[in-house]
Amino acid sequence: MSAILFAVGEMAAASATTLSAGSATSLGSIVSPKLQSKAFIVKCNTRNYLRNFSGLKAEAFVRCESESSFLGNESVAALRQSITPEARNEMQRSWNHVQSQASYKVAVLGASGGIGQPLALLIKMSPLVSSLHLYDIANVKGVAADLSHCNTPAQVFNFTGACELANSLKGVDVVVIPAGVPRKPGMTRDDLFNINANIVKGLVEAVADNCPDAFIHIISNPVNSTVPIAAEVLKQKGVYDPKKLFGVTTLDVVRANTFVAQKKNLRLIDVDVPVIGGHAGITILPLLSKTRPSTTFTTEEVQELTLRIQNTGTEVVEAKAGAGSATLSMAYAAARFIESSLRALDGDADVYECSYVQSDLTELPFFASRVKLGRNGVEALISSDLRGLTEYEQKALEALKPELKASIEKGITYAQKQTVTA
């Protein structure tokens, strides 16, 4: 429980352009021991800003908590530099801006599932969200009723079954798709293809018809194929905007950051490892040489960490022994990616995340890399990460290409064979 609440605290901190509002008595008592140990905390008197805020974080103070940012060093460094009186005024304006503009609508398709439920909870905690639309083919009413009792601002709406899908998408800014079946022990992500391809196709058709301008976050596996399927469906519907279609690979980054911090005894919140390629087995390529803060690894450490990051999903599937795949860490990672997207939509000019997107960084049409997010989606692909790779990384990059290419082609071929529903 405390782990979830801590994640929520971090999420809110990131969402408020690294301003976090905390109640001294409730949230503070849960989060404080860890936060207090951090080097950089600024407290501002903010009763006025928070008077109308009825969420978990009520009234007592605002903590400008740079190191709670999900975005790692860049934003931490930016905030450190900015702590001057003028910058503090700017932060106050920023906070007012967030308070007044926080009105985004987010839809979760597959909201009653193992990922959908904790993800919905984390989104419900975001001060940037005014409406949370929960859609599933089953059990969504209860999830929505339960969630709606949390006294945070986002209003919760539930939608069940195909006849309510269109309404769940009307006016939505970000659509997240964790609908589908998860892996069981012994299965690869590709084994999910036949079921999940069809689910993603149907849901993306509805997105195309009802909120074609929304950011679309695909979680359903195999992401290496479901994103190309989504792209084809959107093309067939005439509404494809490659800047707004994302395969969610944030969990690979979250895992890489955790394992590197543990291995090198670094402060978790400082570590940022870009993960490129795709989201299955060897297509997941952590660029350990690009770790921030700059860190050296022995050859054995590189091999061990790379293999672990590539296989962690399977580790969880086996540990759950038939009861599904990663759900809680996935919800955390997806919430981070949503929060980053909302901050970009809200005009934050310093938002970077890794994601599997249409790309020209390699010869493959889809590729995961760091991207800069802006109001219109992907503003830039960060090519510098691919320069100056180690020999190990260069070989691994070449080795992953045939598998990723085959998965992309499988998705495209599947989508092109299907008839898109008018």
Strand-strand pairing, 61-64 and 42-44: antiparallel
Q: Of the listed 97, 133, 149, 279, which one is catalytic?
A: 279
Distance from chain centroid for Cα 241:
19
Residue the block writes with tokens 């919760």: 156
Angle 393-399-402 from CA coordinates, rounded to 5°: 140
Report, in Å, the least distance between residue 410 CB and ligand NAD: 16
Report, in Å, the least distance between residue 282 CB and ligand NAD: 16
Nearer to ligand NAD, 127 or 222 (CB): 222
Nearer to ligand NAD, 10 or 136 (CB): 136
- How far apart CA 272 and CA 277 sit, in angstroms, is 17
Nearer to ligand NAD, 56 or 177 (CB): 177
Is 217 one of the catalytic residues?
A: no
Residue nearest to ligand NAD (CB): 113
Spatial CA neighbour of 368 closest among 407, 330, 342, 335: 407
Give bridge partners of residue 356 from the DSSP assignment.
Answer: 247, 368
Nearer to ligand NAD, 13 or 177 (CB): 177
Spatial CA neighbour of 337 closest among 228, 236, 223, 225: 223
Nearer to ligand NAD, 13 or 207 (CB): 207
The H-assigned helical ranges of 237-296 are 250-264
Residues near ligand NAD (CB under 6 A) are 109-110, 112-116, 135-138, 178-183, 192, 196, 199, 202-203, 219-221, 223, 248, 251, 279, 324-327, 330
Report, in Å, the least distance between residue 301 CB and ligand NAD: 24
Distance from chain centroid for Cα 280:
17
Spatial CA neighbour of 344 closest among 381, 371, 370, 376: 376
- How far apart CA 309 and CA 286 sit, in angstroms, is 7
Report, in Å, the least distance between residue 113 CB and ligand NAD: 2
Report, in Å, the least distance between residue 200 CB and ligand NAD: 9
Catalytic sites, residue numbers: 279
